[in-house]
Every structure is written in C-alpha cells, then in structure tokens.
Amino acid sequence: MVRITKQEFKEMFNSKIYSIYAHSINEATNEQLQIVLSSVIKDIIAKYWVDNRLSTNKEVYYFSIEFLIGRQLKSNLLNLQIEEVIKEGLEDMGIDLDDLICAEKDPALGNGGLGRLAACFLDSMASLNISGHGYGIRYKYGLFEQKFINGYQVEVPDNWLLHEQYSWESIRPNKAVVVKFGGEVYLEEDNGRLKAKHHGYIPVMAMPYDIPIIGYDNDFINTLRLFKAEILNRDFGINTLYANTFTGSYEQALKYKYYTEEISQVLYPNDSNHAGKLLRLKQEYFLVSSGIQDIINKYRKNKFDILDFPKHIAIHINDTHPTLCIPELMRILLDEEGLSWEEAFDITKNTISYTNHTIMAEAMEKWPVDMMKELLPRIYMIIEEINKRYVEYLNHKYNDNEKIRRMSIICDNNINMANLSIIGSYSVNGVAKLHTEILKKEVLSDFYEDDPGKFNNKTNGIAHRRWLISCNEDLSNLITEHIGNIWKKDTEELKRLEDYKENRNFLKKLECIKIKNKTKLANFIAEEYGICINPESIYDVQIKRLHAYKRQLLNVLHILHLYHELLENPELDIVPRTFIFGAKAAPGYHLAKCIIKLINSVAEKINNDKSINNKIKVVFIENYGVSLAEKIIPSTDVSEQISTATKEASGTGNMKFMMNGAITLATLDGANVEIYDQVGEENIVIFGLKASQVLNYNKYGGYSSLDLYNSNFKIKRVVDDLVNGFIPNISKEGRVIYDSLITYNDEYFVLRDFENYIEAQSKIDTLYRDKEKWSKMCLINIANSGIFSSDRTISEYAKDIWFRGC
C-alpha cells in the first residue's frame, strides 16, 4: 500500500518547489504547482515503479500508433488512493487541488476511439496485475486544436509539450536504440551462411520517455514508453556514423537533424483513414523497430533461450499501424540471432496477435512496394519471402487464382497490411460481436475459412475508474452507499443496483445527480460560449469524430425538421431539448468540414430565433477531447449512436454514456447491439436499417435517395434547406452536402433512416415526460453496464490470447 502522511507530503512538496523553480508557492502559477505535484507523486511511487520486467512472468507489449491518455493527475491520485491526504495537504498550503487538476495539459496523442481504447487497456492491465506495457510515439504535436471561426473549423497546432517537457514522463537515455532507414542490403557469406548486411542507412535515435501507468489500489505500476526521434549524437556534432548519407558539411548535418526529428513531430489527424504518406510509414517503422529492439534487449539480459520467446513475451498490435512488428522481429531473429527461417517464423507467429478496428475500405493500410523497398530494404525482403511462402501454401491448398490474389500480402504492387497481420500472427480479433461476425463472414472470409480457430471476438470496454468513479463522483458515491465498494474492482457487482429499481427514493436521487451535473455543464457552456441552456431540457449529445458514416448529418437534419414543426406551430408540445455536438474533422476531409459549418450555422439560426421560445438549443463544443468528454458525459440524457449499421466497428463512447445513466438512441451497429442485449428493448431506443439490410443494399443495389426525396415531404423540406438560403452562409457547404445526399445517392443511408429516426426521437420525448420511469431506465442502464468495463475486456484478452495455454 502506497502510504504518505499529510506532513510528509507537505515537506516533499515544499522542497520540490524550491528545487524545480527556486521560488515559493506564492509566486507559482497553477501550471507550475501541477508540475511540482506530479514530480512529488513520481517520487512517492518510485520504489514501486522499478523496471520489474525482468520477472519470469509472461509480459505483454501493446503497440499502438496512438495513446489518448487524458489528464493523469486525478486518475493517478484515485488509483493510488491518496486523493484525500493530498487534497488536505494542499489546502493547508492554500492550494485547491481542483485548480491543479485543470491546469494539466491534456496529451492529445490520438484521434479518437482507437487511441482512447489503448489508454483504457493500459489502465486495466495495471489494475489487474498484468505486466502489460505500451509502446508509442512521443509526438511533439498531438491532434490539432480546433477553433471555430465564422462557423468553420480552423486547425491550430497543439503545443502540449510546453517547454519541451511533460510532467509525468521520465527520460531513459540509457535505453535509447537506433532505427535504420534507407540504404542497401546485401546478402553476404558469413560462416557458410548467407547473412544480410545493411549499408548506407540513415540512423535515427529512438529516445524513450516513460510514463507510469498506475494500477487501482494494488501497488502495481506498468510503463507507457513513448519514443522520440532524434539525431544520433545529441550534441549535434558532425558524426562519422551518418557521414555515408549526410557527408560532412554543416548544411548536411542540419538536413540530417530535420530528417530525424520530423519523424516524431506530429500525429496524423486521420481517424479511420489511411494517410499513405512516406512520413507515416517512417513513423510506423520507427515505433515498431524501437519497441521490438527494446524487448529483445531486455530478453537478452534475462538470458532466456531465444526459442522460448513466445513463452515469455506477447506482442499485441493495435490495428495494422504496428504491423511491421512482424518483419522486424523476423529480421532480428534471422540477422542478429542467426535462426533459420522456419524457427524465426514460428516464433514470430506465436508471439504476435492482432486487433482489427474497422472495415472501412479507406482505412485499410496498403503501402506501395517501391516505397517500402526504398525506405526499408531489409524489411521488404522479409515481407516478400513471407508472401512467397504463403502463396506457395495457398497454391497447394486451393488452386484458385482470385482467392490467392485476395489473400496474398503483395498484390498490384501494394503491400496489404491486414493480410500481413493475419498471416504473421496467431490471433485475430474484432472489437464487438457484430464486427467480428462481419470480419468472419464478409471482409476476411477467405482467411476465416482457411483458419477459423485464429479468429475471436473481444468486445471493447472502457476504464470505469476514469469514466465513472473519477468523472461522476456523486453517482459513484451513491452507488457505493447502496451496494458497497466491491463494484470498483468487479463491475459485475453493479447488477445489484437493480434491487433499487422500484425504490422511488433512489430513483429521485439519481435524477437529482443528473440535474446537478447538467447545471454544472450549463454554467460551463454559458461561460465559454455565452449560450444559455436549460438544465430541465433533455441533453441530447453526439460527441465523436466527424465522419459521414457516424451521421452527424442525420442528427442535424432532424433538428431542422423539429425546427420547421415549431415554426409551423409555436405551441407544439415538446420537451425542451439541448442538442450538443463535439467533433473534430480531419483537416483534409471536405464533406466533414462542410457538416461542421452546417451545424454551426443551424445553431446560430435556431439559438437566435425568439419565436420558438427556447424549446430547442444547439451547442457545438469547440475542441472536443478527453477532458471535455469527462465533463459532458455525466450530464447527458440521450446518447446518440446513430452510425449506418455495419460501419462502426464497436464504439466506446456508447459504453461511457450508458455507465453514466444516459439512454442510448441507436442503430443496431457495433457494440450498440450488445448494449441492447444487456438492457432489453424497453431501456434503449433503436431505429434504422439493420446490418443485413445494409449489406444487401451494398451487394444488390436497389436504393435511390432521389426517390425518397421526391416522395417524402419531410425529407424534401430539410434537404432543400441545404440549398435554398433558409440557413444563412452555407451556400457552398450546403451544395456539397446536398450532392452527397442526392447526386451521389446518399452512401450512408441518411435519408433511408430519416423517418425512422424522427419516430425514435419522438419516442424519447414521450419517455422523458415520465421522470420516474426515465430514471428507472437510467438505473437499468447503469446496473447492466459492468460488462463494458475494460477490466472484462482485458481479462478476456489475457485468458484467450496472451496467456492461452499458460
């Protein structure tokens, strides 16, 4: 048990502020005080955060191009169970802990679901005493900061590493490794064996920065190791090692510095989209090579037999961005350990497991052969050999050229990273039941038929400590008062809340907590945006990346519909609504940016129209991210999960809302299906096309958005709004959106689901009027959300994948 008395803490804090800043508390800013506090906490945990990786237990390494960890202070205090003592100690010194919590920068080293999932998984691995460590990139600039100017998204660099430092990290220069790019590879005779020799490469130093990942109430600390790309020689002299490529001159040395540092400069701002740029490939290999070398270095220190590697090490790749782990591990086993191809491939295949997060075609990574060959010549040779052997196997087994084309790694001069991931690993999983079924039956059916045992489902989960205990303290306390503390470590215990579903007193308390959270959010929105919202209104929230398949457009078209109804009949009896959006669009995603402009313009018009008597309000929260989600989710009544069925692999926001007692308004897509299974049809509102219907349309056609437009007055009215001047200042954007719906036949079936969505929304209105019934629905949602803790997900990964057969 990490223990510290108030007195000890105060002494540590006081001496730290002088040693870091050479001045007293009175002169310090909140940012400085937060840095001092983080540093004190790092000292407190130091003896628990030793490099405990030389243990004999199997270790998991989770490779991810993104880790969206959010602010760490509150969550670390919670997990260490020292929040009270620290709060009181600070109070004695005249400091408010909440001010320091808010002063922390929010590291935005991820785009959305994929990166946030990786962060939740780290939290759960540490909390479940699993030695599981993250490998990622220490981007100098995370996801851009979003500003709205005249309703348009403008991107501003996210300078989260103020003064080049992050308060929770520790640099580990003694563990730096070198990653090699470019050059040529020759196979040279070495002791009667052909050995690959790499010449003329550009060396890049991978400098590790470690962040502690603190388990909940268990004194267990793992590491998130993020690598920064640097020149080989930190004093920046002319170094003979890189003289081959950057010969001699000062100018060349500067070029070299630029080449290396560019690699970890900025996170690609794409969610569910393949950037396909050379720099991104450099980032992927940089991550992979640094991490694999780090693992091997530790393994060698341990003096285990290299042939036993998969007994001691599990490597998990978070989608295909770290897929080069496969040829990189092969390279080291072949070229450095001197193993045979068969031995090396056997080890690699038994070490690596892969998660697929999307079936969107545009997200599937494919790298041009020429690009790979030039940047990573040895890696390309190995990929080519894996492919050659696999194609031989396929030929032997199937003799079906089309099938072989679909399954091979190299096809049409492209390297298919999903295929490489499947072929080079022992486990492939999807992230929700429906998604895994679609992988097995549709997208990856050839591989599933070839080796069904390799495929499994691991429905996503969320860290309930951050997404309930920490962000919704009142709700968490209410739960604990009624069912005790055990749920914090075993979320299945939440089920016991069902005992209170007829308890009016409890239901009233739930309602009061929601109102209190809604009032807090209303105050925040009034301060930040000058928009006055009513805590008695229904808070109807859609916060996630902006993407056509997520259908923010469906949401805003419904708002327009409601607005028309109110204009026609100002006395219309509806429960007042506040529609809240939060979403960033990839900077190059034109349609998504047009939708942002549309929502902002609709908000402007509706919020300023006195004639509708404040019955609807629209708020678009700027710069949505983890910390804002922590504010918004506890105050939400309606959780919008309205993607086109089949398109959202899982979703994880849906789970966060459910756990905080929001009612889900959803299509049967991703993990929504499993939320439905948990709560039953009376406690969720479902609408829209089913996955099988969407798959049928995609296969056989038969959908015409124009027919719907011409035959349905409500649809025509809102679609025409896009181009008839009804909404000011959207003439260009409105046309782009109109075309996507009508000219290009509405790829995501927005208009097909529109009527059904209106009905679902009106059902929400009816349900909300009976406050007690609504509160009971909320209770049933909370009580059945335990299965969506990432502790459950991680236990399944551990049992079925990483420690299978151990």
Q: Which residue type, as a one-letter code, is found at position 237? A: G
Region 454-513 residues binding ligand KOT, contact defined as CB under 6 A: 460
Q: Which of 461, 582, 651, 661 binds ligand KOT (CB under 6 A)?
A: 651
User: Between residues 319 and 746, which has the closer beta carbon with respect to ligand KOT?
Assistant: 319
Q: Which of 271, 284, 721, 733 binds ligand KOT (CB under 6 A)?
A: 271
CB 601 within 8 A of CB 727: yes
Query: Which residue in the block uniquely carries the two structure tokens 């086993």?
Result: 333
Q: What is the largest CA-CA distance in the chain?
A: 91
* Under rule CB under 6 A, residue 287 binds ligand KOT: no
User: Between residues 319 and 335, which has the closer beta carbon with respect to ligand KOT?
Assistant: 319
By CB under 6 A, which span of 76-84, 106-114, 285-293, 439-447 interacts with ligand KOT?
A: 106-114
Task: Give the number of other Cβ atoms within 10 Å of residue 578's Cβ.
Answer: 26
Shortest reach from residue 3's CB to ligand KOT, in Å: 37
* Under rule CB under 6 A, residue 431 binds ligand KOT: yes
Q: Is 652 a catalytic residue?
A: yes
Shortest reach from residue 49's CB to ligand KOT, in Å: 28
Rounded CA-CA distance 452/434 in Å is 16
Which is catalytic among the residues 558, 577, 615, 656? 656
Q: Which of 40, 109, 117, 602 binds ligand KOT (CB under 6 A)?
A: 117
Q: Which of 107, 113, 291, 424 binds ligand KOT (CB under 6 A)?
A: 113
Count how many Cα atoms sit within 13 Å of the Cα of residue 272 in the half-sphere of its side chain: 21
Q: Is 357 a catalytic residue?
A: yes
DSSP H helices in 428-488: 433-438, 445-450, 464, 473-483
Q: Which residue type, as a one-letter code, is found at position 300? A: R
Rounded CA-CA distance 691/191 in Å is 59
By CB under 6 A, which span of 477-485, 504-512, 642-650, 768-776 interacts with ligand KOT?
A: 642-650
Tell me the residue ranges of DSSP E strands in 398-545.
410-411, 414-416, 427-430, 455-457, 538-543
By CB under 6 A, which span of 335-343, 357-365, 449-457, 500-508 interacts with ligand KOT?
A: 357-365
Interface characters, 291-330, with ligand KOT (x: CB under 6 A): ----------------------------x-----------
DSSP 3-state assignment of 238? coil
User: Between residues 378 and 593, which has the closer beta carbon with respect to ligand KOT?
Assistant: 593
Nearest to 777 by CA among 682, 704, 701, 711: 682
Q: What is the DSSP letter of 752?
A: T
Binding residues for ligand KOT, rule CB under 6 A, total 20
Which is catalytic among the residues 355, 459, 636, 652? 652
Residue nearest to ligand KOT (CB): 113
* Under rule CB under 6 A, residue 793 binds ligand KOT: no
Rounded CA-CA distance 263/65 in Å is 12
Q: Which of 158, 230, 335, 648 binds ligand KOT (CB under 6 A)?
A: 648
* Under rule CB under 6 A, residue 357 binds ligand KOT: yes
Tell me the residue ranges of DSSP E strands in 99-219.
132-137, 145-149, 152-156, 170-171, 177-181, 184-190, 193-199, 202-214
N residues, the chain? 806
For 516, the token pair is 């209190």
User: Between residues 127 and 356, which has the closer beta carbon with respect to ligand KOT?
Assistant: 356
Q: Is 647 a catalytic residue?
A: no
* Under rule CB under 6 A, residue 652 binds ligand KOT: yes
Burial 533-561 (b: 16+ CB within 10 A, else e): bebebbbbbbbbbbbbbbbbbbbbbbbbb
User: Between residues 460 and 470, which has the closer beta carbon with respect to ligand KOT?
Assistant: 460
Q: Is 545 a catalytic residue?
A: yes
Nearest to 729 by CA among 617, 601, 559: 601
Shortest reach from residue 802's CB to ligand KOT, in Å: 18
Q: Is 577 a catalytic residue?
A: no
User: Between residues 203 and 670, which has the closer beta carbon with respect to ligand KOT?
Assistant: 670
Active site residues: 357, 544-545, 550, 652, 656
Q: What residues make contact with ligand KOT under the rule CB under 6 A?
A: 111, 113-114, 117, 270-273, 319, 357-358, 363, 431, 460, 648-652, 670
